[in-house]
Structure formats: C-alpha cells, structure tokens
Amino acid sequence: MRIIGHLDMDAFFAAIEERDHPQWRGLPLVVGADPAGGTGRGVAATANYPARRYGIHSAMPITRAWRLSEAAKRRGQPGVIFLPPNFSRYEEVSRRIMEIIKKYSPLVEEASIDEAYFDLTYAGDFARAAAICAQIKGEIRVRENLTASVGLGPNKLMAKIASDFKKPDGLTVIPPEEAESFLAPLPVRKIPGIGPKTENFLAQRGVKTVQDLKRFTREELQEMFGKWGLDLYEKVRGRGSAVLATAYEPKSVGEQETFGRDTLDLPFIFERLWAMCRRVHQRLLAETFSTYRTVVVTVRFADFETRSRAHTLPEPAASLRTLRFEAMKLFMPFLDVRENPKNKLIRLIGVRVEKLGK
Ligand code: TTP
Ligand code: MG
C-alpha cells in the first residue's frame, strides 16, 4: 500500500501577483495577454477567484475577459486588474515550494510549475499523512503567503482528483477503501485525460458520471478509445500508478508572443524576437540549466496556420548570442517564399530551447 499526495497551488500566477501587490488584495485579477482596451489578442493564463466569479478562466481569449470585466463594472462591481505574466518570478516561487515539499517527502515528482506528487508512505497511515500535508500547507502559507490545495490517495490518479476536489486551500483524503465510491458520482470530466471532446462523445451515449462509465467492459472501452480505453477501465475503478518520476527536469524553456496587430514589419519582429531570446535565456539560467542544443522557432500567421522550425546544434551551446543567431536563421524562411510564399502577415512568434544541460 502506498500513500501518495498531490499538491496544486491555488490560482498560482494570480495569487503571486496579488501577494506582491497588496493594494489589489481581494480585487479580481487576471494574468495574461494585454487586453488593450478590448482590442487585445492572446489569452488569459489564469484568473484569481474573484475574477473567476465573473466567468473568467485560463485560456479564455483576453478580449472576452475584458468584456466580462466591463459588464461587471456596469453592474457596479470592481473592474478586473489585467497583468502581464512574470515567468521568472513564478519559477522562483515554484522552486521554493518544491523545496518545502521535499523537506516532508523523500520522493517528489514535479508535475508542472505549480503542481507536485509526493510519496508519504513512510507516515504509515492516512491520518498521519494528512497531518503532514497540513504541515506542508502551513509552511507554504507562512513562508510564501500563498495557499495550496492538497489531495491524498492510494495512487497518483486519486491524489490528483482529491486535490482538485476542494479548492482553494483544500485538504482531501481518499483512503484506498473509499477510492471507488468517491469516484462513482463525479462527472466523467474529472478523470484526467477526459477533455471536452470525450465528455461530449460520452454524453451522446448517455454517460455523464464515472458510475455510468463502469457499465462498459474492458473490450468495449478499448473499442471506443484504443489502448487508452484499457487505462480508463482501471481509472474509473480508482486504480492507477503510484510510481513517481522523481528526476523531473523541464524538457524545454520557451515563450510566445501574440503581436498587437498582424505584421510583416521586420525591424519590429526582430526586436521582439531578440527580446524573447533574452528572456528565454534568462529563464534557462534561472532553471539552473546552462546549455541547450535545440532551438525551435514558431510562427502563427494571420490565418492561424502555425508552423515550427527547429535546429539541433552539433554541440551544446550556452550563449545568448548563439540563441539569437540560431533563432534568426530559423526565422528568416518565414519571411520569404521558402515558408511564406503568399506573404502572409504574422500574428504570433515563439522561441524555445530544448535538450537542456547543466
Ligand atoms: P493551474 O494549476 O491549472 O491553475 P491555477 O493554479 O491558476 O488555478 P487553480 O487554483 O485552479 O489550480 O495552472 C497553474 C498555472 O499555470 C496558472 O496559474 C497559470 C498557468 N496556466 C497557463 O498559463 N495557461 C493555462 O491554460 C493554464 C491551465 C495554466
Ligand atoms: Mg494550480
């Protein structure tokens, strides 16, 4: 028997901004693209809980978030504070949170910037493990002045579902004997891997809850979803892996920018590309990497066609100069017949480094 925890920070980017700007505490706040008075482009990265009450959420077009904010103002409620993301700041906080978790668990899998699985089997039972989770949450609150939601379960699946069950500032414990009954009444969407499309597909077959999904045999699920159907058969019964990938390293560091207008203005584009290379390079160092071997450049045209080009160097490189040079070289074909025969305007550019080294 294993005891697995999952911790997920609450409204992570927005919570950090709120903490760092006490004058905005309690006000609705969105981190993401510049709304530019309702003509902005790009999306919201996240929203704090007051902004979520206006219906704003991650990945929503920023113009829509803007309109929801305007509507709130017309109702006499406070308007939303829109902020650009400060990734290196969030990564720094993330690193300190991970260090706190590592003090309480010998085995930690960093699953994303604000989320980790950790093994608490050593605690012996779920009650003692829950007390350790309360300590972790307390230390994060005291040291970072931030809240986290934590779940405990017999495997990663149940731990993640538990941490999502009560947010913000939740602590949910699902011992193994309760796993299956805990899952049964939940909407199928709560199972990681079931997105809006699968949800829709299942709804058309009258399947709404995890309980409904249990009426399919292994073979039927495999028929519907291929190999993943076999995993799903296990998941709906609360079964899943408890193996943590402790040697997590970010596989890449990158950034994207949606321009204020579609453009082929070369001095402007190159200025943005260079600035982006500088930020990506800084973040690489902040992640305590020193080298990269692959450089990837992404371009989205005005019609949303999105293309990437990558180049892998024969040797690891470290300098910003090389990054800029490689990014430029990869980018040039998007400006001429090679990758852009119709001379389409550019909407978004991105730069990413991969094959990172210390
Ligand atoms: P999440 O943990 O999904 O969201 P959250 O921490 O903001 O809110 P919750 O309380 O529901 O956990 O993601 C962590 C951070 O990752 C989030 O603060 C911003 C970033 N992010 C994006 O940039 N784009 C996205 O689409 C999502 C989902 C997250
Ligand atoms: Mg989170």
Give the pLDDT score at 247: 63
Token couple for 267: 């001095």
For 326-339, the DSSP string reads HHHHHHGGGGSTTT
Distance 115 CA to ligand 1 centre (A): 10
Q: Is the pLDDT of residue 251 over 90?
A: no
Q: Ligand nearest 11 Cα, by number?
A: 1
Give the pLDDT score at 245: 83
Which atom of ligand 1 sits closest to the CA of residue 32?
Answer: 23
Give the pLDDT score at 181: 97
Which atom of ligand 1 sits closest to the CA of residue 115?
Answer: 2
C-alpha–C-alpha distance, residues 253 and 346, integer Å: 22
Q: Ligand nearest 170 Cα, by number?
A: 1
Kind of pairing between the strands at 148-153 and 81-83: unpaired
Q: pLDDT for 18-50, tens place per residue?
A: 999 999 999 999 999 999 999 999 999 999 999
Is 115 marked active-site? yes
Mean local confidence (pLDDT), 59-82: 97
Q: pLDDT for 211-229, tens place per residue?
A: 999 999 999 999 999 999 9
Nearest to 170 by CA among 136, 196, 142: 136
Q: Is the pLDDT of residue 248 over 70?
A: no
> Which residue out of 6, 12, 97, 110 has the highest number of ligand 1 atoms within 8 Å of its CB and is therefore the one to mutate?
12
Give the pLDDT score at 279: 95
Nearest to 133 by CA among 169, 171, 175, 165: 171
**Residue 215 zone, left/alpha/beta (φ > 0; ψ -120 to 50; rest):** alpha
- Res. 291 pLDDT band, cuts 50 70 90: very high
> Which residue out of 18, 46, 62 has the highest number of ligand 1 atoms within 8 Å of its CB and is therefore the one to mutate?
46
Catalytic hit among 17, 109, 110, 115: 115
Residue nearest to atom 15 of ligand 1 (CA): 12
Give the pLDDT score at 114: 97
Give the pLDDT score at 249: 63
- Res. 288 pLDDT band, cuts 50 70 90: confident
Distance 54 CA to ligand 2 centre (A): 19
Residue nearest to atom 12 of ligand 1 (CA): 10
C-alpha–C-alpha distance, residues 80 and 57, integer Å: 13
Mean local confidence (pLDDT), 276-282: 96
Nearest to 6 by CA among 140, 189, 153, 195: 153
Distance 51 CA to ligand 2 centre (A): 15
Q: Is the pLDDT of residue 265 over 80?
A: yes
Distance 12 CA to ligand 2 centre (A): 5
Distance 352 CA to ligand 1 centre (A): 20
Q: Which helix (H) or strand (E) holds 65?
A: helix 62-74
Q: Is the pLDDT of residue 358 over 90?
A: no
The pLDDT > 70 percentage for the chain reads 99
Distances (CA, A) of 169 to 9, 24, 165, 223: 8, 20, 11, 40
Mean local confidence (pLDDT), 195-199: 94
- Res. 101 pLDDT band, cuts 50 70 90: very high
Q: Is the pLDDT of residue 174 over 80?
A: yes
Ligand 1 binding residues, C-beta < 6 A:
8-13, 45-46, 58-59, 113-115, 167-168
SS3 content of the chain, % helix, strand, coil (to 5): 45, 25, 30
Q: Is the pLDDT of residue 109 over 60?
A: yes
